[in-house]
Amino acid sequence: MKVEEFLEAVREGLQADSIKDADKIVRIVAGALKAVLPQDAETALGRLLPDELKAGWEQVEPLPEGLSEREDLYLEEGPPEREPAACPPLDS
């Protein structure tokens, strides 16, 4: 899978306006994973990715220390007034 195909699948799944939005989200998620995965798991995951995606994985920096440990971050202002909208399945 090429990077463009991957980002387009993410963009469609999120119903985002642009590939740039999808790229930003992918980088945030990858950074969050890198912040919490043990080094050997991060390395193993990188090895499993197709070459083009592997290059992107290696470029992403982990989120700053401590940020990923804030499990309560989204609840600081109380629960949302309504349920967040669910993302449609990627295969739709």
Instruction: Spell out the domain ranges in the chain.
Output: 3-60
Contact 57/41 with Cβ under 8 angstroms? no
pLDDT at residue 75, rounded to an integer:
52
- Secondary-structure percent of the chain, ordered helix, strand, coil, rounded to 5: 60, 0, 40
How do residues 15-69 score in pLDDT, each as one tens digit? 999 999 999 999 999 999 999 899 999 999 999 999 989 988 999 999 887 655 5
The mean pLDDT of 68-80, rounded to a whole number, is 54
pTM score above 0.85: no
Q: How many CA atoms lie within 13 A of 67 on its CB side?
A: 11
